[in-house]
């Protein structure tokens, strides 16, 4: 609720500005009111033309048009504060500086081209994502897939206990409980032993669950704590949150997925039935991808940079070491002009031949990705989406339902997980490719948040993810038009309104 209130409060200054302007206009500038309003209307039209010609999702543009045209003063102010990427300059400058410094410590990863049997089209897609993100494809030495946070929890604790050099953790949410208390106890112990321990968490994501006082208590015990993008006051970077989730230990093992550091993610408390999430553990060269993502962020926004010696890459693998396909660890960023995950999913849907299955807690697609789902289904690809059966946010759940009719009419199959809430984010396509990470199928995740994702090609983990999809689908209800998805005029009207405002949620 506090997060929603913060977004409402962010609009108050612009609304007050509009009220002040109208007061001044009609009280002191009444003789020239018509002329002034005409000038503002012309400026509003020019602003609208600027928005239309900008590259971006049409739904997002429509939302701002509906705000700016009737309310030109507050609309323009709100757009300049929260809708334009110009407000990201302060974040971008810091990250670019940190990236340049890190390049002197960590040399570029060696090129790892896909073999011919992977196919030219998939190779082009991977090269495209590498070019957008700066990430590097590498051989997969071993990846463990966890169908639930319950399965990841003991392995994570065991790996933390083995740390000798460093522990890096980055999460959207931290909340006191069995999970975080168990982890923090180990972190404090390891810090006392001389291990470099650093924890980064999103300030807005954890605003209801974790306090500065709690972070300071760990800081006093040697655990370096850093909130990302602190909510000191309302500012233009408010929307750009750190939604990434990763733990990196000694550069040898990394954990990721959709699991935050709170008890519902390991089903120690029940908030919305059984909490279904994906977890991931990787070893070998892929870990360096997570190290780079964390180090860039930490050095960009912290006053205690990571010592260069701590980031020295591990020695290269002997040529004889067996590998299990390939993996691409990449980060998504709202600071780029191209949204990597949105592009990746469009690409994968465009080349899917037999099936493309997705899992996401939210479903609020931009026009280009929505069309990719529709086209794939219409040409005969078995397209499925698994969604929650129990909502964590009712208004967001209803907004997700507003996308059901168009997808179902095109032949996309949608299933809702009846035991509880699906927080898992992943996909599996044609027994060749799968992804496990933090990216939801919604506007905020695809365009406004910092995210991390792991894409596997021709690896055994692909089959494991597929098997879990089938097992999860067996616990789902099938969504059907006219049966449990309403199609009447009232719902059509409501869906249209919700679709317009979906980029805000």
Query: Which DSSP string corresponds to 428-441?
Result: EETTTEEEEES--B
d(CA 154, CA 422): 21
- Domain boundary among the residues 266, 299, 324 is at 324
Same domain, residue pair 357 and 238 = no
Residue 334, domain member (yes or no): no
- Domain boundary among the residues 290, 324, 358 is at 324
Number of domains in the chain: 3
Residues 6+ apart with CB under 8 A from 500: 59, 62, 63, 66
Same domain, residue pair 286 and 410 = no
Residue 382, domain member (yes or no): yes
- CB 408 within 8 Å of CB 414: yes
Same domain, residue pair 474 and 431 = yes
Q: What pLDDT is stored for residue 14 in this prediction?
A: 47
Residue 130, domain member (yes or no): no
Q: What pLDDT is stored for residue 19 in this prediction?
A: 56
CATH number of the domain where residue 397 is located: 3.30.870.10
Same domain, residue pair 355 and 498 = yes
Residue 304, domain member (yes or no): yes
- Domain boundary among the residues 52, 68, 83 is at 83
Same domain, residue pair 11 and 93 = no
Q: What pLDDT is stored for residue 1 in this prediction?
A: 43
Residue 333, domain member (yes or no): no
Same domain, residue pair 245 and 312 = yes
Neighbours of 193 (CB within 10 A): 11
Q: What pLDDT is stored for residue 293 in this prediction?
A: 96
Residue 335, domain member (yes or no): no
**pLDDT tens digits in sequence order for the chain, 505 residues long:** 444 444 444 445 545 555 554 565 555 555 555 565 666 666 666 666 666 666 666 666 666 666 666 666 666 666 665 556 666 778 888 998 998 888 888 877 777 777 777 788 999 999 999 999 999 999 999 899 999 999 999 999 999 999 999 999 999 999 999 999 999 999 999 999 999 999 999 998 998 899 999 999 999 999 999 999 887 655 667 778 999 999 999 999 999 999 999 999 999 999 999 999 999 999 999 999 999 999 999 999 998 999 988 887 766 666 667 789 999 999 999 999 899 999 999 999 999 999 999 999 999 998 899 999 999 999 999 999 999 999 888 888 888 998 999 999 999 999 999 999 999 999 999 999 999 999 999 988 998 899 999 999 999 999 999 999 999 999 999 999 988 887 766 766 766 666 666 665 5
Q: What pLDDT is stored for residue 7 in this prediction?
A: 46
Residues 6+ apart with CB under 8 A from 56: none
- CB 139 within 8 Å of CB 287: no
Same domain, residue pair 117 and 36 = no
Same domain, residue pair 232 and 166 = yes
- CA distances (Å), origin 394, targets 1, 157, 398, 408: 12, 34, 6, 21
- Would residue 393 be called left, alpha or beta, if left means φ above 0 and alpha means ψ between -120 and 50 degrees? beta
Residues 6+ apart with CB under 8 A from 372: 345, 346, 349, 350
Domain that holds residue 465: 340-504
Strands 355-359, 326-332: pairing kind? unpaired
- CA distances (Å), origin 307, targets 97, 102, 166, 296: 16, 10, 11, 13
The maximal CA–CA distance of the chain, rounded, in angstroms, is 85
d(CA 261, CA 201): 10
Same domain, residue pair 384 and 270 = no
Residue 190, domain member (yes or no): yes
Residue 425, domain member (yes or no): yes
Q: What pLDDT is stored for residue 28 in this prediction?
A: 58
Q: What pLDDT is stored for residue 395 in this prediction?
A: 84
Same domain, residue pair 227 and 300 = yes
Same domain, residue pair 67 and 92 = no
Same domain, residue pair 105 and 240 = yes
- CB 48 within 8 Å of CB 65: yes
Tokens of 237: 């970077």
Q: What pLDDT is stored for residue 457 in this prediction?
A: 95
């Amino acid at each position: 609720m506090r997060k929603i209130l913060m977004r409402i409060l962010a609009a108050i200054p612009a609304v007050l500005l509009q009220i002040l302007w109208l007061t001044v206009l009609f009280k002191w500038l009444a003789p020239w009111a018509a002329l002034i309003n005409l000038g503002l209307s012309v400026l509003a039209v020019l602003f609208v033309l600027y928005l239309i010609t900008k590259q971006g999702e049409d739904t997002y543009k429509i939302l701002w048009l509906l705000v700016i045209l009737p309310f030109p003063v507050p609309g323009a102010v709100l757009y300049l504060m929260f809708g334009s990427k110009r407000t990201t300059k302060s974040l971008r400058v810091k990250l670019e500086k940190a990236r340049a410094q890190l390049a002197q410590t960590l040399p570029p990863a060696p090129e790892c081209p896909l073999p011919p049997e992977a196919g030219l089209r998939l190779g082009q897609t991977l090269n495209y994502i590498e070019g957008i993100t700066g990430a590097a494809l590498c051989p997969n030495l071993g990846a463990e897939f966890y169908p639930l946070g319950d399965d990841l929890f003991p392995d994570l604790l065991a790996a933390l206990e083995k740390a000798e050099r460093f522990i890096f953790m980055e999460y959207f949410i931290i909340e006191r409980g069995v999970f975080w208390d168990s982890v923090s106890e180990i972190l404090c112990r390891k810090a006392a032993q001389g291990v470099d321990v650093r924890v980064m968490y999103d300030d807005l994501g954890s605003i209801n669950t974790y306090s500065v006082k709690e972070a300071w208590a760990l800081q006093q015990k040697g655990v370096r704590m850093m909130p990302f993008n602190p909510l000191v006051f309302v500012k233009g970077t408010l929307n750009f949150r750190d939604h990434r989730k990763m733990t990196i230990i000694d550069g040898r093992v990394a954990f990721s997925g959709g699991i935050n550091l709170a008890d519902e993610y390991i089903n120690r408390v029940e908030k919305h039935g059984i909490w279904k999430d994906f977890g991931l553990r990787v070893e070998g060269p892929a870990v360096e991808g997570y190290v780079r993502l964390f180090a860039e962020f930490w050095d960009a926004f912290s006053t205690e940079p990571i010592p260069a010696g701590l980031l020295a890459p591990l020695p290269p693998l002997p040529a004889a070491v067996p590998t299990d396909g390939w993996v691409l660890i990449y980060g998504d960023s709202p600071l780029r002009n191209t949204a990597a995950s949105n592009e990746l999913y469009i690409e994968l849907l465009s080349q899917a031949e037999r099936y493309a299955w997705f899992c996401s807690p939210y479903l609020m697609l931009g026009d280009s990705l929505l069309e990719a789902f529709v086209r794939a289904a219409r040409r005969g690809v078995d397209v499925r989406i698994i969604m929650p059966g129990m909502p964590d946010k009712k208004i967001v759940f209803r907004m997700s339902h507003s996308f059901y009719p168009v997808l179902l009419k095109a032949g996309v199959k949608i299933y809702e997980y009846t035991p509880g809430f699906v927080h898992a984010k992943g996909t599996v396509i044609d027994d060749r490719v799968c992804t496990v990470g933090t990216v939801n199928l919604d506007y905020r995740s695809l365009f406004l948040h910092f995210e991390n994702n792991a894409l596997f090609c021709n690896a055994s983990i692909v089959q494991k993810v597929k098997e879990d999809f089938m097992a999860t689908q067996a616990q789902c209800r099938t969504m059907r038009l006219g049966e449990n998805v309403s199609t009447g005029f009232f719902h059509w009207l409501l869906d249209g309104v919700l679709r317009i405002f979906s980029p805000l949620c």
